[in-house]
Chain A
């Protein structure tokens, strides 16, 4: 069975109506000249009745959003409507027409009459309706096996789309870790092109493409759309020689194709790794095995990205989610990791008549550093509940020393406590040294440090220092990644002081730093700002 045309659209009513659906159908019919008039009329009426029913009833007549997928195969036409409407009592067995002068109630019976299969499923809070019309020219065997194929196909399609959306890979920039595999494939097999393709709604999108072709392609033209339908390799030595695919052949681009499906972490087939060429080509069993190995490599990279993006969400969740409510004070922070996760963090929480603040930077970048950072955060948080500033750092240092020693890393940290009434900030700086107070009069004061980072010397005697924040003063604590946004030296702190003078509030400073960090992230960039309101 060959897929001729596939279209998927998202609609919402209002403004969309059954006219929108019929306009879409008109474009599909224009692409399927071989479709018999009787099949076309029957399918159109059945689909319009289905859409009208959803528009009218799925949300009790209120606004409704739904998606419509239509696939024309050479033996059947399938339409699936997915809506998020409430569950209505669906009785698809009642096929009787109402009495002759009734004005309503003929839609669903008509739909039944014109279709060979109508199914309704309630999955994850959505209604999924599938209507299948067998094309009358098709063989009886194809018609018999239809409903199961159709529903399996629809469920596959839904699962694939959701898994792909969850991965967050669509429309992301090219990445070397994928590009190196497609480059290698082109060299290894001596083909013109290789690609990592994802199958999204009605298009194919290339995460990586070496050689010819376009990054985006209509799904009806895509070979990988066929590959994702099974777990097997799809190898077509000459498309023109295979009636299933002859229509997809393109001179100067596509005569030979070989592809392997790619999977989401949950096992859904979301795309394919493929090689192709403008010339027909033999592809040996050994080459198929090599292609499988390369696909497995791409697969591993995909899995890593997925795990990293999860880790990234978790790490962002460890940053303070709540604003501190401190009358007379404004507090803001940002943490932009260079990779998905990083070794920096900032933290704040109310303590007594004020708040505790931390900014720390674990040596290194990426996952290893992020594990250490999360540990430091937890230990400091719990220690801060029972001790003063120096006590908390002391307790954290003692608790962490073995872990940090084992990991062979150290952590620079600034930990402080602010008395919000007096403005006195008590702090311990463990080898961090990137804190500065921008004064209301335009002067500034660096908070220097001679203490080592956590993890260097378990015998360190920590000492706390104090600084007074007067009305109009701003405390700025940053990680060293922020220096790289300027000239990379400590003089960069002067840029931050200037920024503090210019900005209306801490959030404006954060926005400015964030804008500067965009697309330029050699190191994690973390900023914590505490500003005392001007005296009135």
Chain B
């Protein structure tokens, strides 16, 4: 799995995950988002369009990160989840808690 973090204005961190988000890689996502929070980018836009596989461990990392960014006054929103990730979000009733948007700009519009 690859994670890239790109900082945007207004404290938005675009976190792009590619590959499998599972038990092996979940911790790395948490660390990446915590790193962005520590760099004063508590608004995490997590791009899941290139995630080929998400499981309950990956989902757990997303929820833990959601709590972390909220504690820092930010939010975590998903961008364009791939088909399998979308399926997992729906099966676990998490699509309302972890809202999905088409793009980073749509996730965190600069008003």
| A residues apposed to B, CB below 8 Å | 17-19, 22, 37, 41, 44-45, 48-49, 52, 55-56, 97, 100-104, 106-107, 109-110, 113-114
Known A41-B84, A103-B63; contact A52-B97, beta-carbon cutoff 8 A: no
- State whether A100 touches B57 (Cβ < 8 A): no
- State whether A19 touches B20 (Cβ < 8 A): yes
Known A48-B55, A100-B97, A101-B97; contact A110-B22, beta-carbon cutoff 8 A: no
- State whether A44 touches B23 (Cβ < 8 A): no
Residues of B within 8 A of A100 (CB): 93-94, 97
| B residues apposed to A, CB below 8 Å | 20, 22-24, 53, 55-57, 59-61, 63-64, 66-67, 83-84, 87-88, 91-94, 97
- The docked-state distance in angstroms from the alpha carbon of A52 to that of B84 is 18
Name A's interface SS: helix
With both beta carbons as reference points, the residue of chain B lying nearest to A19 in the complex is identified as B24
Residue from B53, B91, B92 in contact with A44 in the complex, judged by beta carbons closer than 8 Å: B53
Residues of A within 8 A of B55 (CB): 18, 45, 48-49, 52, 107, 110
Known A45-B88, A100-B93, A113-B91; contact A18-B23, beta-carbon cutoff 8 A: yes
Residues of B within 8 A of A48 (CB): 22-23, 53, 55
In the assembled complex, the CB of A96 is this many whole angstroms from the nearest CB of chain B, namely 11
Report the 3 A-B pairs with minimum CB-CB distance, sorted nearest first.
Answer: A106-B56, A107-B56, A103-B60
Residues of A within 8 A of B64 (CB): 103
With both beta carbons as reference points, the residue of chain A lying nearest to B60 in the complex is identified as A103
- The docked-state distance in angstroms from the alpha carbon of A106 to that of B26 is 14
- The docked-state distance in angstroms from the alpha carbon of A18 to that of B55 is 10
In the assembled complex, the CB of B33 is this many whole angstroms from the nearest CB of chain A, namely 14
In the assembled complex, the CB of A224 is this many whole angstroms from the nearest CB of chain B, namely 36
Residues of A within 8 A of B83 (CB): 37, 41
With both beta carbons as reference points, the residue of chain B lying nearest to A56 in the complex is identified as B23
In the assembled complex, the CB of B73 is this many whole angstroms from the nearest CB of chain A, namely 17
Since A18-B24, A49-B56, A55-B23 are in contact, a sample of 8 more A-B pairs with Cβ atoms closer than 8 Å, ordered by chain A residue number, is A17-B23, A18-B22, A52-B57, A100-B94, A100-B97, A103-B60, A107-B56, A110-B56
- The docked-state distance in angstroms from the alpha carbon of A113 to that of B88 is 11
- State whether B24 touches A17 (Cβ < 8 A): yes
Interface centre among A45, A49, A113, by most chain B C-beta atoms within 10 angstroms, is A45
Residues of B within 8 A of A102 (CB): 63
With both beta carbons as reference points, the residue of chain A lying nearest to B97 in the complex is identified as A100
With both beta carbons as reference points, the residue of chain B lying nearest to A109 in the complex is identified as B92
- The docked-state distance in angstroms from the alpha carbon of A106 to that of B92 is 7
With both beta carbons as reference points, the residue of chain B lying nearest to A101 in the complex is identified as B63
In the assembled complex, the CB of A16 is this many whole angstroms from the nearest CB of chain B, namely 10
Residue from A19, A101, A113 in contact with B22 in the complex, judged by beta carbons closer than 8 Å: A19
Residues of A within 8 A of B53 (CB): 22, 44-45, 48
- State whether B23 touches A97 (Cβ < 8 A): no
With both beta carbons as reference points, the residue of chain B lying nearest to A38 in the complex is identified as B87
With both beta carbons as reference points, the residue of chain A lying nearest to B61 in the complex is identified as A103
- The docked-state distance in angstroms from the alpha carbon of A17 to that of B64 is 22
In the assembled complex, the CB of B84 is this many whole angstroms from the nearest CB of chain A, namely 5
20 A/B residue pairs, CB under 8 Å, sorted by A: A18-B23, A19-B24, A41-B83, A45-B55, A45-B84, A48-B23, A48-B55, A49-B55, A49-B56, A52-B22, A55-B23, A97-B92, A100-B93, A100-B94, A101-B66, A101-B67, A106-B56, A107-B56, A110-B55, A110-B91
Residues of A within 8 A of B60 (CB): 103-104, 106
Residues of B within 8 A of A97 (CB): 92-93
Residues of B within 8 A of A22 (CB): 20, 22, 53
Interface centre among A18, A103, A107, by most chain B C-beta atoms within 10 angstroms, is A103
With both beta carbons as reference points, the residue of chain B lying nearest to A40 in the complex is identified as B84
- The docked-state distance in angstroms from the alpha carbon of A102 to that of B91 is 15
In the assembled complex, the CB of B25 is this many whole angstroms from the nearest CB of chain A, namely 8
Residues of B within 8 A of A41 (CB): 83-84, 87
- The docked-state distance in angstroms from the alpha carbon of A52 to that of B57 is 9
Residue from B61, B88, B97 in contact with A110 in the complex, judged by beta carbons closer than 8 Å: B88
In the assembled complex, the CB of A107 is this many whole angstroms from the nearest CB of chain B, namely 4
- The docked-state distance in angstroms from the alpha carbon of A100 to that of B59 is 11
- The docked-state distance in angstroms from the alpha carbon of A318 to that of B95 is 70
With both beta carbons as reference points, the residue of chain B lying nearest to A37 in the complex is identified as B83
Residues of B within 8 A of A19 (CB): 20, 22, 24
